[in-house]
Structure 1
């Protein structure tokens, strides 16, 4: 008898955090499905304080934790040690000079300077929404965090939990890249990305209360995710490459044989 699993993208219910889930169950183009229990995504682990949450975390039997946050974010909310799991931190968003993009309070001044330089190059003021839309389009390329992630996947360092602060942006793009590499459709990869808005609905609505429709559109991505931003990141791949397979070959060395091996391991 086959074990029964929840629908792909179902939230893992926790007392201290929302938007934790796994990638298992999504259907690939060849008819196989992503294996359950290997690939988890989430946010700050220090939110999982209760005995019940700790029991859930331990039940994943993690071998690896990959933290996409900056050092400033990690310092404010350090990941607790998880028995049996190796911890790595590699920031998944970078300044133009290659240094970490720090979303903690201590990094605000540098972020402001980075945006000012972007506006100077554009020749006009730019809303944060448009700036981040441009940043998202850069994330899939030459990103040391995602290079480390795919190396860990090839080395079968799983079960793996990858996370950032809220589990929505750096984590959301990473999840889409994994799903696309495994042959899951763009539609389903983007659907997984957008589930953040379901699981963070109360937080999002509290942040947007009283805002106009246009303000809501521009500010949604502060606490939620914006479909155009997410789509922009993965669609930029097809602007630069003839296919996702060509991108994975060029960016991560996942040629046809290595990509097939990756799929054989993570699909069933």
Structure 2
């Protein structure tokens, strides 16, 4: 039985996950409580995996979300292979977060190459330790969100979990959401992407040896220790999150208070 448009999206925003047909991990970052008891407003910040697969039905609902700005963390190759849809009245900005180590379209292509010979089992923790520091994409993100005219804002990458996961953690932390809640938002991707990751793992399991499968499991998985590594990297470098925002982004106490004043209720 086909689900009508009205029924398909009726759970939003009660359920922050927007049930798009063509995206697995599209969700509103609103509704989280801050340390001082306020709440992040719905409709200001969205996070997602790739948008290429959005259907016409999805696009019709997308337009009701009043998204004004899209930040795409992917590199040029990723964006060219799976371009975002062209949207009127939406500012699109692609800012690469990391240097990509491969140009492969599929995990099967990776298996046939020497790609994994250069990776360790700690690849993801090493990645997360680097992402928060001196990253032009997040510097730009923090500039953009300080202007209320840029919100609602959607930020995304290919799977919406690593690059977007750290970006989301930074936004919520800047708003005063406690770390344990930030972690809950991060780990929600484990549920939204569960069916997808299981399917991928089944498809590629025959192409890898045990070590390769362990690396793949890390790459497509969501683990608390990954985001914890990002927070630890911030602490090791700056001492605390407040100093990090002030020195990494120029986001002083006063600027964070101004940001919070229009993003919280």
TM-score category by the smaller chain? 0.7 to 0.9
Aligned to 1:261: 258
Which of 38, 44, 48 in structure 1 is aligned with 2:50? 44
Query: Does residue 84 in structure 1 map to residue 89 in structure 2?
Result: yes
Aligned to 2:125: 133
* Whole-Å separation in 2 of the counterparts to 1:66 and 1:112: 32
Aligned to 1:150: 142
Whether the 8 Å contact between 2:116 and 2:212 is mirrored in structure 1 is no
* Whole-Å separation in 2 of the counterparts to 1:208 and 1:89: 29
Which of 14, 29, 39 in structure 2 is aligned with 1:33? 39
Whether the 8 Å contact between 1:68 and 1:92 is mirrored in structure 2 is yes
Distance 1:215 1:266, change over 3 A: same
Whether the 8 Å contact between 1:41 and 1:171 is mirrored in structure 2 is yes
* Whole-Å separation in 1 of the counterparts to 2:117 and 2:213: 21
| 1:148 Cα deviation from its structure 2 partner | 0.6
Aligned to 1:121: none
Aligned to 1:105: 104
* Whole-Å separation in 1 of the counterparts to 2:70 and 2:145: 12
Partner of 1:105, secondary structure, is coil
Whether the 8 Å contact between 1:37 and 1:60 is mirrored in structure 2 is yes
Aligned to 2:14: 6
Aligned to 2:185: 192
Distance 1:147 1:112, change over 3 A: farther
Unaligned 5+ residue runs, structure 2?
A: 1-11
TM-score, with length taken from structure 2: 0.83
Partner of 1:154, secondary structure, is coil
Which of 7, 17, 25 in structure 2 is aligned with 1:19? 25
Partner of 1:251, secondary structure, is helix
Runs of 4+ in 1 over 4 A off after TM superposition: 111-116, 209-218
| 1:60 Cα deviation from its structure 2 partner | 1.2
Q: How many residues matched?
A: 245
| 1:141 Cα deviation from its structure 2 partner | 0.7
Partner of 1:197, secondary structure, is helix
Aligned to 2:200: 207
* Whole-Å separation in 2 of the counterparts to 1:113 and 1:199: 28
Counterparts of residues 204-243 of structure 1 (less than 5 Å): 204-209=197-202, 218-243=215-240
Distance 1:42 1:5, change over 3 A: closer
* Whole-Å separation in 1 of the counterparts to 2:101 and 2:213: 24
Aligned to 1:170: 163
* Cα-Cα RMSD: 2.8
| 1:224 Cα deviation from its structure 2 partner | 2.9
TM-score, with length taken from structure 1: 0.83
| 1:44 Cα deviation from its structure 2 partner | 1.5
Whether the 8 Å contact between 1:90 and 1:145 is mirrored in structure 2 is yes
* Whole-Å separation in 2 of the counterparts to 1:166 and 1:239: 28
